Structure 1
Amino acid sequence: MHRTKADIVLRGYAAWNSRRALEVLDSIFPKEAKEQPSLVIVYFGGNDSSIPNPNGIGPHVPLDEYKENMRKIATHVKFHNDSQNLSEKTRTIFLTTPPINEAQILHNIDPQGQLERTNEACRIYAEACMEVCDEMNVKGIDLWSAIQKNDNWEDVCFIDGIHLTNEGSKIVSKEILNVLKEAEWEPSLYWKSMPSEFGEDSPYDVVGPDGKTTYNLSNFIYPDNDMWD
């Protein structure tokens, strides 16, 4: 969808939590960089909400600390008129932790019956994330609720009870696109509203049916993109 319109950079680190994110926040989003992102999507909570280890190790982050960490991340990347941040053009979306399928986790990951996370804990951290979004005026997407609105979500949305299948990822993508479409941001970051890079007509474009003219594909909507309208 965003081909020829935007460069998308994925920075995902396995088993990370909001505490570790704060340690590298300045390195990933340096404020002195000449080019700053137009959109930052922040996705923490699943590992933070895991059950605490009695030895104090592991990815769990207490709820109050998690909320404070998310506030600090929002303050760093979100545009504020009265504070130093990345850029006036940088917009922010927070994603909550999605639900989990506890039965599937026990079957695929932890056959000993020792769950390291629960769906109830995911709910609590998802609600906390949305509270921070309201407080900080950040766009938030409640994935915990959105995924569970779908029929048979427990059966079709997870590879192993935690990580999302293609079907689960489609739900996330649609939720993000809905925010981009409805947000009153200037310029718009919705894919149909964004200009194509190097979108001018060229004699090197695909030759049309008449054999004499060319067809500019820069803004062509492929059939499989209709579902993302």
Structure 2
Amino acid sequence: MNARPVFVLFGSSIVQYSFSNGGWGATLADIYARKADIVLRGYIGWNSRRALQVIDKVFPKDSAVQPSLVIVYLGGNDSIAPHPSGLGPHVPIEEYIDNMRKIAEHLKSLSDKTRVIFLSCPPLNEELLKKSTSTALSEIVRTNETCRLYSEACISVSKEMDIKVVDLWNAVQRRDDWATACFTDGLHLSEEGSNIVVEEILTILKEADWDPCLHWKAMPTEFAEDSPYDLVSSSGQYTYNPSEWIYHRKLSWE
């Protein structure tokens, strides 16, 4: 039996929160439950500068097992306006581009079979975000316009480095009620917003010319053979193999 593929989700809070309350990471873990391990490496508040500092620790080149897929989200915190003190997560867009380029280079060097998908900055609901921000924090200036600029920068780097990218800024806004439906607090993704991320990722995995294909329907199901220990039919004459059952899902993913 071949080693079970590993998919790693790496980035800031949109990654860290992706396993909570219908998040996109949790949905991927369900879809790939018998096909691949979904590993969470999310770090709330991080920017591309901090991620680059630890990239070789999170993804060591000498690891015995390298991921089959790495999905990266960074940029939302980079896009926050600079604080007068010089502290905080802001990273100038030119440096952000360079950091993402270096992150892509490192991930692509892990193995010939390691694939990479970048997620660009989604839009945000500025009014809702202002209401939900803690008063314990200094004013955090985030705008939809800067999200667009950093999203476009991420897409540009992805094309330059020949890696796949999800244009979240535009994908989310294809839904008419995106500003109210896609966020929990104006910034972090609701279940509806997360479903958009999953749909975009699965589209890439289905269409990518990768060998092996990493789309869930193309991957073997682990321990899928029939067994006398499966659930017994009402007639008592045979068993039902449940390894491919997906009836429990709210959405039928393609």
**10-19 vs 201-210, which deviates more?**
201-210
Q: CA deviation at 1:114?
A: 4.5
**203-212 vs 149-158, which deviates more?**
203-212
**Residue 86 (str. 1) matches residue 116 (str. 2):** no
Q: CA deviation at 1:208?
A: 2.2
What residue is the counterpart of 2:13 in the other structure?
A: none
1:37-116 equivalences under 5 Å are 37-78=67-108, 85-109=109-133, 114-116=139-141
What residue is the counterpart of 1:218 in the other structure?
A: 243
**Residue 126 (str. 1) matches residue 156 (str. 2):** no
Q: CA deviation at 1:210?
A: 2.5
**Paired residue secondary structure (2:165):** strand
**Residue 141 (str. 1) matches residue 169 (str. 2):** no
**Which of 21, 26, 48 is residue 56 of structure 2 equivalent to?**
26
What residue is the counterpart of 1:196 in the other structure?
A: 221
**Paired residue secondary structure (1:9):** strand
Q: TM-score, normalised by structure 1?
A: 0.93
What residue is the counterpart of 1:11 in the other structure?
A: 41
Q: Is the 8 A contact 1:97 1:122 kept in 2?
A: yes
User: Could you tell me how far apart the structure 1 residues matched to 2:34 and 2:53 are?
Assistant: 33
Q: Is the 8 A contact 1:106 1:114 kept in 2?
A: no
Q: CA deviation at 1:29?
A: 0.5
**Which of 199, 202, 205 is residue 177 of structure 1 equivalent to?**
202
**Paired residue secondary structure (2:37):** coil
What residue is the counterpart of 1:81 in the other structure?
A: none
User: Could you tell me how far apart the structure 2 residues matched to 1:21 and 1:93 are?
Assistant: 16
Q: Deviations over 1:174-220 (max 9, x none)?
A: 11111111111111111111101111111111112331211212222
Q: TM-score, normalised by structure 2?
A: 0.84
User: Could you tell me how far apart the structure 1 residues matched to 2:184 and 2:242 are?
Assistant: 36
User: Could you tell me how far apart the structure 1 residues matched to 2:138 and 2:221 are?
Assistant: 52
User: Could you tell me how far apart the structure 2 residues matched to 1:88 and 1:30 are?
Assistant: 15
**Unmatched segments (≥5 aa) in structure 2:** 1-30
Runs of 4+ in 1 over 4 A off after TM superposition: 110-115
Q: Deviations over 1:47-77 (max 9, x none)?
A: 0101111111100101011000000011011
**Paired residue secondary structure (2:70):** strand
Q: Is the 8 A contact 1:105 1:115 kept in 2?
A: no
Q: What fraction of aligned residue pairs are identical, expressed as a percent?
A: 57
Q: Is the 8 A contact 1:77 1:90 kept in 2?
A: yes
What count of residue pairs does the alignment treat as equivalent? 223
User: Could you tell me how far apart the structure 2 residues matched to 1:37 and 1:113 are?
Assistant: 38
- AA in 2 matched with 1:70: M
- AA in 1 matched with 2:77: N
User: Could you tell me how far apart the structure 1 residues matched to 2:163 and 2:142 are?
Assistant: 27
User: Could you tell me how far apart the structure 2 residues matched to 1:4 and 1:225 are?
Assistant: 18
- AA in 2 matched with 1:101: N
What residue is the counterpart of 2:7 in the other structure?
A: none
What residue is the counterpart of 1:82 in the other structure?
A: none
CA RMSD of aligned residues (A): 1.7
